[in-house]
């Protein structure tokens, strides 16, 4: 691990080696929420399907209103009231037809004067305002035009996409199957929460498996992923290899936590190589998460992350998932806010640092404050944080008062 890769380089290298074949399936709209579209979805109709009124008022010919004002009203004859889906009414010169919001525009009309801008008098109206063509009119195709791509292949499907599909009458969508990610936690010192009396367990030098819980539960929040937790395996190369082999048969992607470091007890790298795998990335210049590594085993990507929860989480979020997304051409949005830094943040030369921060309102801005404890195993830095501030490897740090981008978590 003497030569550590820049995280962007590591993502790029790994993404070029990943070959995942995902099947597709057709789902109803609600079931497709937060899945990934496997095809472009194109509208085959215009929305609105016809020119329609934005307001309650009178459909008119715009040219008939030119010069109208409160001091110079123009008189138009009311020849009827529009009815939805009726095409019999025609607006001729000097005429008007009463319409309501959403009504189709009668033939001959090209504008709508609002009720507030007329004086009604029997079968006549006095127009008090001059209108331009298509004033208060939603033109056919103005919202969604025929041929518009509503969802591109590889897009994470959000409620806004489903609403657009429903608007044009689509009730099903093709999506990729969920990416199955197997999670294996290594370490003879690791036990599951609830395995016994906490004080007794911790007193024996053991630790509860917060890393596995954090990784698995975070992946579960991603609708396009199916996390499969394989459990804890002790520091025995044969046992680890056996469980990894099962995971390779079961999942598209394998994630190991623990055992990625350089000590004699860290066996993840040796296990992958003993099974015929190739190590592609060995250590990343990131803080925390330096041991993060990856390889290819039986044509499946296998990632080896730190056993510490925060380092593993950041390795998952900023190395594992981005390389998979890049390889598959997925477009997963990030929730980013810009905030004012209230305290200087320094960086270590050559490293990309992931600083956990608290966000709060101050004056007219959002303000962001780094959380003091930066340890890779300090779970409170995630518990107490609202987001992650990324300090790139080529940046010495950010000064107090700088406006920075923070990804919400």
- Per-residue pLDDT of 149-162, as tens digits, reads 999 999 999 999 99
Strands of the sheet containing 95-99, edge to edge, are 111-114, 57-60, 95-99, 74-81, 124-127, 118-121
Q: Compute the average pLDDT of residues 62-80.
A: 95
CATH number for 152: 3.90.105.10
Over residues 264-278, the mean pLDDT reads 87
Asked if omega into 359 is within 30° of 0 (cis), the reply is: no
pLDDT at position 288: 93
Domain boundary pick from 303, 328, 353: 328
pLDDT of amino acid 27: 98
Q: Answer yes or no: do 265 and 287 share one domain.
A: yes
Q: Where residue 370 sits, what CATH number does that domain have?
A: 2.40.340.10
Looking at residue 380, its pLDDT comes to 85
Q: Is 378 in the same domain as 349?
A: yes
User: 101: which residues sit within 8 A by CB, 6+ positions away?
Assistant: 53, 54, 55, 56
Identify the domain boundary among 309, 328, 347.
328
* Residues above pLDDT 70, as percent of the chain: 96
pLDDT in tens, 223-239: 999 999 999 999 999 99
Look at residue 1 and tell me if it is in a domain: no
Whether residues 220 and 261 share a domain: the answer is yes
165 in a structural domain = yes
Looking at the structure of the chain, the number of domains it has is 4
Q: Report whether pLDDT(261) > 80.
A: no
- The answer to whether position 34 is within a domain reads yes
**Which of 138, 167, 188 is a domain's end point?**
138
Query: Are 293 and 311 within one domain?
Result: yes
For residue 8, the model assigns a pLDDT of: 97
Same domain for 380 and 322, yes or no, is no
Q: Mean pLDDT over residues 348-366, rounded? A: 93
pLDDT > 90: percent of the chain? 89
- 397: CB partners within 8 A, 6+ apart: 344, 345, 346, 347, 391
Stretch 180-187: mean pLDDT, rounded?
97
**Res 46: pLDDT:** 96
How high is the mean pLDDT of the chain? 94
CATH of the domain at 233: 3.40.980.10
Pair 319, 237 in one domain: yes
Q: What is the pLDDT of residues 231-260, one digit of tens each?
A: 999 999 999 999 999 999 999 999 999 977
Q: Report whether pLDDT(111) > 70.
A: yes
Tell me, yes or no, whether 42 and 164 share the same domain: yes
Whether residue 266 sits in one domain with residue 196 = yes
Regarding whether 297 and 210 lie in a shared domain, the answer is yes
Does residue 1 carry a pLDDT above 70? Answer: no
In a domain, residue 240? The reply is yes
Do 16 and 70 lie in one domain? The reply is no
pLDDT band (50, 70, 90) for residue 379: confident
Half-sphere exposure of 252 (CA within 13 A, CB side): 21
Residue 382's pLDDT is: 87
Report d(CA 334, CA 405) in Å as an integer: 11
213 and 166, same domain (yes or no): no
Q: Is the pLDDT of residue 302 over 90?
A: yes
Tell me the pTM: 0.89
Do 183 and 282 have their domain in common?
yes
| 342: containing domain | 336-408
């Amino acid at each position: 691990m003497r030569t550590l890769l820049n995280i962007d380089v590591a993502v790029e290298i790994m993404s070029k080696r990943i070959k995942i074949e995902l099947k597709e399936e057709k789902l109803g709209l609600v079931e497709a929420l937060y899945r990934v579209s496997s095809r472009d979805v194109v509208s085959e109709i215009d929305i609105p399907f016809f020119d329609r009124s934005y307001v309650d008022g009178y459909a008119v010919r715009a040219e008939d209103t030119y010069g109208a004002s409160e001091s110079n009203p123009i008189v138009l004859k009311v020849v009827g009231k529009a009815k939805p889906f009726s095409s019999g009414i025609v607006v001729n010169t000097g005429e008007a037809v009463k319409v309501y919001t959403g009504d189709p525009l009668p033939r001959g009309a090209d504008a709508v004067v609002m009720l507030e801008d007329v004086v009604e008098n029997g079968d006549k109206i006095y127009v008090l305002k001059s209108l331009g063509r298509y004033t208060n009119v939603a033109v056919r195709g103005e919202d969604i035009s025929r041929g518009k791509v509503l969802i591109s292949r590889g897009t994470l499907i959000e409620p806004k996409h489903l609403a657009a599909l429903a608007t044009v009458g689509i009730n099903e969508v093709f999506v990729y199957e969920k990416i199955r990610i197997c999670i294996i936690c290594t370490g003879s010192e690791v036990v599951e929460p609830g395995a016994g009396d906490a004080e007794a367990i911790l007193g024996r030098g053991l630790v509860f498996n917060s890393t596995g819980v954090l990784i698995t539960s975070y992946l579960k929040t991603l609708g396009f992923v199916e996390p499969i937790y394989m459990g804890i395996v002790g520091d025995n190369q044969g046992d680890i290899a056996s469980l990894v082999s099962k995971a390779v048969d079961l999942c598209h992607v394998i994630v190991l936590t623990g055992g990625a470091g350089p000590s004699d007890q860290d066996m993840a790298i040796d296990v992958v190589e003993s099974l015929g795998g190739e190590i592609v990335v060995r250590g990343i210049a990131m803080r925390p998460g330096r041991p993060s590594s990856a390889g290819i085993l039986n044509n499946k990507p296998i990632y080896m992350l730190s056993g510490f929860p925060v380092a593993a989480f950041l390795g998952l979020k900023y190395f594992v998932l981005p390389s998979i997304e890049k390889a598959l051409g997925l477009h997963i949005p990030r929730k980013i806010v810009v905030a004012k830094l209230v305290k200087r943040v320094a960086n270590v030369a050559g490293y990309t640092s992931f600083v956990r921060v608290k966000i709060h309102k101050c004056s007219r801005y959002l303000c962001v404050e780094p959380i003091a404890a930066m340890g890779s195993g300090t779970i409170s830095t995630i518990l107490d944080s609202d987001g992650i501030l990324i300090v790139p490897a080529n940046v010495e740090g950010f000064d107090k008062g700088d406006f920075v981008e923070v990804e919400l978590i």
